[in-house]
Amino acid sequence: MKIQIRAVSQISPDQSVICIVGKDEIPSHIVLNRSEKEYALRRLSENDEYVFVNSYYKCTYFVKANTELPHFMMLEEIRKRASSMKQLIRANNHTEIVITSEGLSEDVSEAFAEGFILSIYSFRKYKTKEEEKEKGRYPQKILLHNIKNKDKVLWLSALCEAVYMVRDLINEPPNFLNAPALAREIKKIGNSAGFTVEVLNKGKIEALKMGGLLAVNRGSIDPPVFCILEWEPEGKVNNRPLVLVGKGVIYDTGGLNIKTGENMSQMKADMAGAATVAGIMYVMAKCNIPLHVIGLVPATDNRPGGNAYLQGDIITMFNGTTVEIGNTDAEGRLILADALSYAGKYKPELIIDIATLTGSAAMTFGNKAIAVMGNADEKYFKLLEEAGNMVYERVARLPFWDDYKEMLKSDVADIKNVGGREAGAITAGKFLESFTEYPLIHLDIAGTGILKKDDYYRIKEGPGSGLRLLAVFLKWLASEMEKR
């Protein structure tokens, strides 16, 4: 679904409008007759979730913002309100709709547009009946009234497009989207946005001795890939790049420690981290953010066939570290570890990895927060927390003490890939830390990246968790660097 977002300076009397207000008042630029105004004002004073006025030739929707909330929470309430209104808006069969606000900041209108667009996504590529392929009668044009900064419109458009791309990748069935197919899709995204993509095939991966990626791939008939995405704009503000690493486990059966029951049903989404990295690079390039960013995506499926790796195996990683395999379902950290070691060749200022990594993170925070940990400078965590609040992809920090690394000691190798049931999310992060000498932030999106039911505009068909968070983080980081 392609939705066009444009800024407009005027609203014509016959246009359908969504008007967000902070008080019980009708703005002068909203044309209603006397009885319609009286009705709308009465309903606003009763604090209804929204007010709908049908003038037959147009529709007017009023949404009252709760200005008593902290600003970031008010914006999230507006996004959720947009999601709640999607069926009503669809029923009225608009081809376009104007979003405006009165007495509020511009980002209120943007938040409504964002929540609405992200809530109406659907994946219908494989529907064969025409009525099922129908994408709905949602507006194909969203017009933002009185948005003076056109860059904001470009940003919102790129951000929503990127989330849709990530969701499309997550929803592709594994019989279509194996590792080489993911690499092809990432190349298409790079070509459309303007960042470069290099794909290392299995032969190159073997030559580089990426033992983690190769071990996880041993049970699959499909070869692994290692994708290198790069956005290096003219006028970049950083001397050393930032590196993003995304977990690209195309489908995770658990390997020989095979998953049971419902635990496997959503595992085509185990490559959400990889898709998110591609989506972030899309936003960086589309919006010409002056930051040198490199994305690394190791990709394979994890299956129990063929010569699948075993509990008790000892493998040698890209950086020469030996790892004792304690569980073949702890595969994501193995492919990420090779990528983190490889990232060292760029001498990065910061590495951020994002992965649907541990059930421990999901059990700890549910779908309400992204687990975050690492050894990077405190300024990065502070900025990440602020960005998380702004887009309401909040982060919750876990301790990262070296005591937890003791749980990964092996009697027969340098390190084990699991540390036991206790503190599983943290020991996974400490495992990753062992494979880089550069500042690291680790984001575990297991709870937020794979949902069992819709959470307003974060839909179960691939919420795209972490994309908006990291895109805003990088945008703000670039802005701070420009001021130095």
pLDDT of residue 396: 98
Q: Structurally, how many domains does the chain consist of?
A: 2
**Dmax of the chain from CA atoms?**
82
Q: Is residue 100 part of a domain?
A: yes
Q: Which of 80, 86, 247, 333 is catalytic?
A: 333
pLDDT for position 387: 98
pLDDT of the residue at 261: 79
Express each pLDDT in 283-302 by its tens digit.
999 999 999 999 999 999 99
pLDDT at residue 21 in the model: 95
Position 47 pLDDT exceeds 90: no
**Same domain (yes/no): 91, 199:** no
User: Considering the entire predicted model, what is its pTM?
Assistant: 0.96
pLDDT over 60 at 384, yes or no: yes
pLDDT digits (tens, 9 = 90+) for 422-479: 999 999 999 999 999 999 999 999 999 999 899 999 999 889 999 999 999 999 999 9
Catalytic residue among 6, 141, 209, 259: 259
Annotation says 333 is catalytic: yes
Is 16 part of a structural domain of the chain? yes
Assess whether 259 carries a catalytic annotation. yes
Same domain, yes or no, for 248 and 296?
A: yes
Shared-domain flag, residues 26 and 132: yes
CATH code, domain with 276: 3.40.630.10
On average, the pLDDT of the chain sits at: 95
Q: In the predicted model, what is the mean pLDDT of residues 75-97? A: 95
pLDDT of the residue at 130: 67
- Same domain flag for 143 and 171: no
Q: Give tens-digit pLDDT for 126-159.
A: 888 766 655 556 899 999 998 888 899 999 999 9
CATH number at residue 8: 3.40.220.10
Q: Would you state the pLDDT for residue 133?
A: 55
- Last residue of a domain, which of 113, 148, 183? 148
Residue 468 to residue 163: CA distance in whole angstroms: 8
Q: pLDDT by residue (tens digit) across 108-121?
A: 999 999 999 999 99
Task: Choose one of 120, 148, 176: the last residue of a domain.
Answer: 148
Residue 146: predicted pLDDT = 85
Q: Is residue 153 part of a domain?
A: no
Residue 51 sits in the same domain as residue 128: yes
pLDDT of residue 224: 98
**155 inside domain:** no
User: Which range marks the domain in which residue 296 is found?
Assistant: 164-483
Q: Per residue in 155-192, pLDDT tens?
A: 999 999 999 999 999 999 999 999 999 999 999 999 99
